Structure 1
Amino acid sequence: MKRTTKQRRAPAERPGEILSAALALFVEKGFAATRLDDVAERAGLSKAAIYLYFDDKTALLRGVIRQTVSANIGTVEALAKAHRGPIGALLPAILDFMASRLEETPMASIAKLVIAESRAFPEIGRFYLTEVIGRGVPLLEGLIARGIATGEFRQVDPGFTVRSLVSPMLLAMLWKTVFEPLGGEKLDVRGLARHHADLMLHALRPVADPRT
């Protein structure tokens, strides 16, 4: 008897297939309108098979966020941990990495989804706040504080500086998911990241003593 594609799949592959199907549907239909039956059909599995790996639809979205966004935070954490030398050499690399993820992965669509659905489903926003923002912002604040402590950067508020640093990436996320589909010009996100890194590094330079 011929075995079906479903039967040939390795169990280890199924969570990834389920998350890929869920992400596609969440982006197409929104979180509220997506049913687990839809995810099962898109993944080519039974609904019962989904429950082997995920408790409910919210757990699916948490899995999507972990797989697509949280993993990127882990990469930035590794970059920061391995970096030796001036922080000014690291910040452009971090912004370029963020820009590449916005251009090459569904990260922008997930962020838009979280923004759109968090009012009706606040647990989604709280999870993103903890899992993504709660890890990323302190990490970057620590880098800015290191630069201040070594005299590489002038005295600035690390929290405000981090929010200024990442704000163009939020603009890029909105532009790519909202305005480009409506006919807006295509945004060079990595070019924007390079430009903004240059502006930020100039702004962070210590102010020269006028007496010297």
Structure 2
Amino acid sequence: MTNRSVITGTSRRPEARPTEILGAALELFAEKGFSGTRMEDVAARAGLSKAGVYLYFKDKTALLKALVNEMAGANVSVARGIVEAHQGPVSPLIATILGFLAGQVRHTRFPELIKIVISESRAHPEVGRLYLDAVIGQGLPLFEGLIRRGIASGEFRAVDPGFAARAMIGPMLLAIIWKTVFEPIGADALDTEAFAAQHADIFLKGIQS
């Protein structure tokens, strides 16, 4: 979705259009904000008529919801798959998940989506609630479960799973803010994979028995 190709004319396949529309919407939300983007802007960026966009999405909120589900929701699904397939100690699994998230921050447009959610949630609470329910509401219980698993096996100390899960994920939010806010104005680029590996090492040493 995030590497939207430019396809014009009647050669464009109908099944490709939702992906192109979402790519255009993400670009415009990042450039103009949610409030400043019109459906006709998305249509023009995607190379479609306004009516063509409405065939797939009824309004801007539907576009944003689809972006959250396709990008952020997919990340949660991948993380869940990693967890369900893993057997053995939890520590390597936590490092793997953090490495996966770091790769998403560095190599995809996922950080732009998070920036949109952060910047628009005050004026449009439904935007924040959407992400809270679809992503945080799914991801945090998954990570809390990992901490509980490690505590139950004696691998981790008896820490608070809720706080520990938030501490585990918090630096990834910092990486997103760094990439979307500070790097564009001159900050040194952050090696997110190395950052995640360092964080995993510090975090795990802090909670291990």
Q: Given residue 138 of structure 1, which amino acid in structure 2 is its aligned partner? A: P
Structure-to-structure mapping, 1:26-65, within 5 angstroms: 26-65=29-68
Q: SS at 1:90's partner residue? A: helix
1:87 aligns with 2:90: yes
Runs of 4+ aligned structure 1 residues displaced above 2 Å come to none
Number of the residue aligned with 1:104: 107
User: Residue 68 of structure 1: CA displacement?
Assistant: 1.5
Find the aligned partners of 2:142 and 2:160 in 1 and give their Cα distance: 14
Number of the residue aligned with 1:209: none
Find the aligned partners of 1:112 and 1:39 in 2 and give their Cα distance: 19
1:169 aligns with 2:165: no
User: Residue 100 of structure 1: CA displacement?
Assistant: 0.3
Structure-to-structure mapping, 1:121-136, within 5 angstroms: 121-136=124-139
Identity %: 53
User: Residue 90 of structure 1: CA displacement?
Assistant: 0.2
Q: Given residue 33 of structure 2, which amino acid in structure 1 is its aligned partner? A: G
Given candidates 127, 141, 156, the residue that maps to 1:138 is: 141
Q: In the alignment, is the contact (CA less than 8 A) between 1:68 and 1:105 conserved in 2?
A: no
User: Residue 205 of structure 1: CA displacement?
Assistant: 1.5
Number of the residue aligned with 2:80: 77
Given candidates 145, 156, 164, the residue that maps to 1:153 is: 156
Find the aligned partners of 1:139 and 1:184 in 2 and give their Cα distance: 33
Q: Given residue 202 of structure 2, which amino acid in structure 1 is its aligned partner? A: L
1:20 aligns with 2:23: yes
Higher gyration radius (CA): 1
Given candidates 2, 10, 21, the residue that maps to 1:7 is: 10
Given candidates 173, 186, 193, the residue that maps to 1:190 is: 193
Find the aligned partners of 2:182 and 2:174 in 1 and give their Cα distance: 11
Q: In the alignment, is the contact (CA less than 8 A) between 1:141 and 1:158 conserved in 2?
A: yes
Number of the residue aligned with 2:3: none
Q: Given residue 70 of structure 1, which amino acid in structure 2 is its aligned partner? A: G
Alignment length (residue pairs) = 203
TM-score, normalised on structure 2?
0.95
Q: CA RMSD in A?
A: 1.0
Q: In the alignment, is the contact (CA less than 8 A) between 1:114 and 1:125 conserved in 2?
A: yes
Q: Given residue 13 of structure 2, which amino acid in structure 1 is its aligned partner? A: A
Q: Which runs of 5+ in 2 are unaligned?
A: 1-6
User: Residue 6 of structure 1: CA displacement?
Assistant: 3.2
Listed one character per residue, the Cα deviations across residues 169-197 of structure 1 (whole Å, up to 9, x for unaligned) are 11111111111111111111111100010
Q: Given residue 66 of structure 1, which amino acid in structure 2 is its aligned partner? A: N
Q: Given residue 180 of structure 2, which amino acid in structure 1 is its aligned partner? A: T
Q: Which runs of 5+ in 1 are unaligned?
A: 207-212
Q: In the alignment, is the contact (CA less than 8 A) between 1:6 and 1:45 conserved in 2?
A: no
TM-score, normalised on structure 1?
0.94
